[in-house]
Amino acid sequence: MRFLVTASVLSIFLISCEKTFTYNANEIQIEEKDRDQNTKNLERLRSKPQSDSFNFVVISDTQRFYEELDDIVEKINRYPDISFVVLNGDMTDFGLRSEYLWTTHRLQKLSFPFLVVVGNHDMLGNGRELYKQMYGPENFGFSFSGYKFIVLNSNSQEVGHNGSLPDTTWLQQELSATPSQQKIFILSHLAPFSGDFDRSLEQAYVRMLTNNGNVIYSIHGHEDISYLGQPYGPPVNYLVVNSIKERSFVLIKVNSNNTEVEKVLF
Amino acid sequence: MLLFFLLVTTEKISAQKKGFKITPPDHIKVQYAGGLGFISIGAGYSTKNQKLEGDLSYGYLPKSIGGIRIHSISGKITWIPIHAVSVKKYQVEPLMTGLIVNYSFGKQYFSFDPPYYPYSYYSFPTAIHSALFLGSRIGLNFPENTFVRRVSLYYEILSFDREIISLVSNPKSLHITDIITLSLGVKVNID
């Protein structure tokens, strides 16, 4: 009798479970619908009408805060006029496939295109490979409404501060290739002033941004604080977006005259 | 793992008292999925009262199935709290429960934080994953004098440590079906 009960429980489980079999906690097999999310969302973004004033949202460090993530998706979807949403790194806590899927399936409920920046936690175990398959390249740039956005892997500590992250050579090329009339936003998980950033690259990074002249914001996460300032002097603003565990996100309103940064509590 | 080795050592000591040098395992297991690999093969010992068993296994996950090739070893402790029910040649073990500890080989995983992280930066080992399970088993008994004493089929419903933690901190957003997964296996009791 007990066996029959467990057997029927088992059959229900087999039907209802999303991932019936797990071969290893570190496995990374991914279905087509969850692949290349950044690439697919950039296509969605390209088909959107462009105008010289637009809004975008930055959230960060969603890690293991799925309830907050569900709430934030619902809150953002109530806005009528968001061009895109950026999750600025640490979409997982342990870099596992199950977490990548949990977070991605929640982001897929957003009414707006979304982009994910790689965070240090997302690189744990096979995380770096998962990010590559599910989101695409770690470093990439795109233009929207006459602005340039540069996304960068700045998680130096995950490679033992070996000088390879952030890839300053790539960044310099991307900055140089940007037309001079385009203002630039940079998005990466670790700020150059973060304790976990590669000290040997801090000055190079800062100089590159300052000397470029078109970079207006360098936007980060990781620190579990909210910060906006010019710690290295004008003209570059450094913005640190708090973890969603503090139930806040940042709304950035861009127009031809100025850029407003608004912290929204939810 | 520690419990398993204790179990093995105890078995060995009792065996030595009887004048044997080493006791061969009393069962082998071949398992599909359940965090031990695409396919895993293991062997282990049971206590005399058949309430507790410990296994050590090697598991393989090919890239074509798991997206990446993973070699791993696992220790498993199974507790069988309810007596087996025998019907003719068949034996049903309605409930077994226990703990799995899996170690994945690979330079991308760590058991302890690598030296380039500040002390205790990540408080979990990416190479080691544990899981809790519940399951049942049905077996066919063979005649007393055969080398193979019993062949059983089993399933386990299991959940990994980090997924349990995720569920506990997100009871409204995650559901039990998000964190449970299934294994199927064959246990062969040998003489």
Evaluate if residue A236 carries a pLDDT over 70.
yes
Task: List the one residue out of A33, A38, A244, A10 whose CA is nearest residue B173.
Answer: A244
For residue A2, give the chain B residue with the closest CA.
B94
Place of tokens 């479970």: A17
Hey, are the CB atoms on A124 and B72 less than 8 Å from each other?
no
Measuring CA to CA, how many Å separate A12 from each of B23, B92, B174? 41, 21, 18
Whole-number mean pLDDT of chain B?
Answer: 90
CA A60/CA A72 separation, integer angstroms: 11
- Could you report the predicted ipTM of this complex, rounded to two decimals? 0.89
At residue A197's C-alpha, the angle toward residues A67 and B162, to 5°, is 35
Q: Which residues on chain B are in Cβ contact (under 8 Å) with A163?
A: none
Extended beta strands in A83-127, E state:
84-87, 114-116
CA B131/CA B175 separation, integer angstroms: 17
> How many angstroms away from the CA of B132 is the closest CA of chain A?
13
Domain range summary for chain B, segments of one domain joined by +: 2-190
Whole-number mean pLDDT of chain A?
Answer: 94
CA B42/CA B100 separation, integer angstroms: 13
pLDDT (tens digit per residue) in A101-153: 999 999 999 999 999 999 999 999 999 999 999 999 999 999 999 999 999 99
- The pTM of this model reads 0.91
What does DSSP assign to residue B71?
E
What does DSSP assign to residue A82?
-
Evaluate if residue B14 carries a pLDDT over 80.
no
Task: List the one residue out of B56, B15, B24, B17 whose CA is nearest residue B149.
Answer: B24
Domain range summary for chain A, segments of one domain joined by +: 52-265
The verdict on A132 touching B (C-beta cutoff 8 Å) is no
Give me A96's structure tokens: 């596992």
Extended beta strands in B105-147, E state:
128-141
Q: Are strands A54-59 and A140-144 parallel, antiparallel or unpaired?
A: unpaired
Q: Which residues on chain B are in Cβ contact (under 8 Å) with A26?
A: 68, 70, 104, 106, 109, 126, 129
pLDDT (tens digit per residue) in B141-191: 998 888 999 999 999 999 999 999 999 999 999 999 999 999 999 999 998
For residue B73, give the chain A residue with the closest CA.
A24
The verdict on A16 touching B (C-beta cutoff 8 Å) is yes
Residues A163 and A200 sit within 8 Å (Cβ to Cβ) = yes
Task: List the one residue out of A85, A96, A150 whose CA is nearest residue A121.
Answer: A96
> How many angstroms away from the CA of B146 is the closest CA of chain A?
28
Which contiguous run of DSSP H or E holds residue A40? helix A37-46
Q: Which CATH superfamily is domain A52-265 in?
A: Metallo-dependent phosphatases (3.60.21.10)
Share of chain A above pLDDT 70, in %: 93
pLDDT (tens digit per residue) in B51-63: 999 999 999 999 9
Measuring CA to CA, how many Å separate B92 from each of A83, B28, B136, B156? 60, 18, 8, 14
Hey, are the CB atoms on A24 and B70 less than 8 Å from each other?
yes
Task: List the one residue out of B128, B187, B130 whose CA is nearest residue B160.
Answer: B130
Hey, are the CB atoms on A96 and B162 less than 8 Å from each other?
yes
* Nearest Cβ partner for A67 among B114, B165, B172: B172
CATH 2.50.20 is right for the domain spanning B2-190 = no
